């Protein structure tokens, strides 16, 4: 009964307070998201990843850095090492669990930097127009013209290897598409009646961009970011693989593949296990992105 009334309260068409209206809107979104099974699977995997990263010290059976040269390259299902050990005898499962932290760290940082830069550049460019638009968009074009990994490589080479620099490099190469999307959306929003209406209240450009244009651009950017997340993880892994991202002995998944590459024929699990981890997380982000698109971007769904 209490469940019934809460549900009715959340699904009402006549909210009674600001908070009620917000919660109601959120609940409606959650309901349509929940009806998408694949998106829920993606969300589940990602929540599990967050949980694993948070509880790494409890979950990991071994110290990820503890070497045991006597027990190196132990196969899958070996005693005390479910996923086997790598070339220095470190437990692969424990390294994967700790590696989740690094993956999340990279994902979170890139997700904070790239779309925000893109949103800023795109909306300002679209709203202000004129020469500002021309200058900003040509800069965007220049960044877009470079192959992503090559540009990231150049940045890392200039800034030095390391996770933070890898994140910065990836973010710098990731923002131009977001700027493009944000600008295109801004151009259609700019000429709409509700923007004219707020202009007639004497609102300035800053207020219109942040208060009226951003809320409409953000949903499509969030969708795009989740769909790109797989690519970002792979780019980070790629940098790690090339030895330009996380440095050994850090258990970054890409670096782990790079190490395992030498034994790929005889000891395939050393490279395969982190590869599977990257695959699973990338897939989860893609599924989530698809589900979010249905909820946030009604245009694509119709």
Partner 1 sequence: MSMVRIDGLDVWFGRARDRVNAVRGAAFDVARGESFGLVGESGSGKSTILRALVGLVPTWSGHISVAGQVLAARRAKAFYKQVQMVFQDPYASLHPRHSVDAVLGETLSLHGFRDIDARVVKLLDDVGLGQRFRFRYPHQLSGGQRQRVAIARALAPEPELLLLDEPTSALDVSVQAEILNLLADLRQEHRLTYLMVSHDLSVVGHMCDRLAVMKEGEVVEIMDVDALRAGHATHPYSQHLLQASV
Positive or negative: CA dihedral 164, 166, 260, 284: positive
13 makes contact with partner 1 (CB under 8 A): yes
Nearer to partner 1, 205 or 215 (CB): 215
23: contact with partner 1 by CB under 8 A:
no
Whichever of 116 and 203 has its CB closer to partner 1, that residue is: 203
Assess 73 for contact with partner 1 (CB under 8 A): no
Is residue 3 close enough to count as binding partner 1 by CB under 8 A?
A: no
Q: Directed axis angle between helix 269-296 and helix 214-241, to 10°?
A: 170
CA atoms within 13 A on the CB side of 8: 5
Q: Does 72 bind partner 1 (CB under 8 A)?
A: no
- Residue 25 as a binder of partner 1 (CB under 8 A): the answer is yes
Our finding on whether 158 is near partner 1 (CB under 8 A) is no
Q: Is residue 192 within the footprint of partner 1 (CB under 8 A)? A: yes
Q: How many residues bind partner 1 (CB under 8 A)?
A: 25
For 246, counting Cβ atoms within 10 Å of its Cβ (0-12 exposed, 13-18 middle, 19+ buried), the class is: buried
| Spatial separation of the C-alpha atoms in residues 5 and 34, rounded to whole Å | 20
| Interface with partner 1, residue 117, by CB under 8 A | no
User: Does the protein bind partner 1 through residue 139 (CB under 8 A)?
Assistant: no
Q: Which stretch binds partner 1 (CB under 8 A): 10-18, 87-95, 227-235, 280-288?
A: 10-18
Give long-range contacts, CB 8 A cutoff, 24+ apart: 28-37: 29/295, 29/296, 32/294, 32/295, 33/291, 33/292, 33/294, 33/295, 36/290, 36/291, 36/294
Q: Is 202 in the site for partner 1 (CB under 8 A)?
A: yes
Q: Which of 5, 201, 265, 266 binds partner 1 (CB under 8 A)?
A: 201
211 binds partner 1 (CB under 8 A): yes
Which among 177, 205, 183 has a CA at the least distance from the CA of 122? 183
- Is residue 302 packed enough to be buried (19+ CB in 10 Å), middle (13-18) or exposed (0-12)? exposed
Interaction between residue 128 and partner 1 (CB under 8 A)? no
301 forms part of the interface with partner 1 (CB under 8 A): no
Residues that bind partner 1 (CB under 8 A): 13-18, 20-21, 25, 192-194, 196-203, 207, 211-212, 215-216
């Amino acid at each position: 009964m209490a469940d019934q009334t809460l549900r009715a309260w959340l699904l009402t068409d006549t909210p009674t307070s600001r908070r009620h209206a917000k919660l109601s809107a959120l609940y409606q979104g959650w309901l349509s998201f929940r009806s998408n099974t694949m998106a829920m699977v993606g969300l589940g995997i990602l929540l599990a990843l967050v949980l694993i990263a948070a509880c790494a010290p409890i979950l990991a059976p071994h110290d990820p850095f503890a070497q045991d040269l006597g027990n190196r390259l132990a196969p899958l299902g070996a005693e005390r090492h479910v996923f086997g050990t790598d070339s220095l005898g470190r437990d692969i499962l424990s390294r994967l669990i700790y590696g989740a932290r690094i993956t999340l760290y990279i994902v979170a940082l890139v997700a904070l930097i790239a779309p925000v830069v893109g949103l800023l550049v795109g909306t300002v460019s679209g709203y202000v127009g004129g020469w500002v638009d021309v200058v900003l968009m040509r800069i965007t074009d220049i960044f877009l013209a470079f192959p992503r990994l090559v540009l990231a490589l150049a940045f890392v080479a200039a800034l030095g290897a390391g996770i933070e620099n890898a994140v910065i490099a990836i973010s710098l190469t990731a923002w131009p598409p977001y700027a493009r999307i944000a600008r295109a959306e801004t151009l259609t929003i700019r000429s709409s009646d509700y923007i004219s209406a707020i202009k007639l209240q004497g609102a300035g450009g800053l207020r219109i961009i942040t208060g009226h244009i951003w809320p409409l651009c953000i949903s499509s950017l969030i969708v795009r970011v989740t769909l790109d997340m797989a690519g970002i993880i792979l780019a980070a892994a790629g940098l790690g693989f090339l030895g330009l991202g996380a440095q050994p002995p850090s258990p970054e998944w890409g670096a782990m593949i790079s190490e395992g590459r030498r034994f790929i024929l005889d000891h395939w699990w050393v490279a395969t296990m982190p590869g599977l981890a990257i695959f699973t997380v990338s897939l989860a982000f893609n599924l989530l992105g698809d589900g979010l698109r249905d909820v946030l971007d009604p245009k694509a769904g119709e």
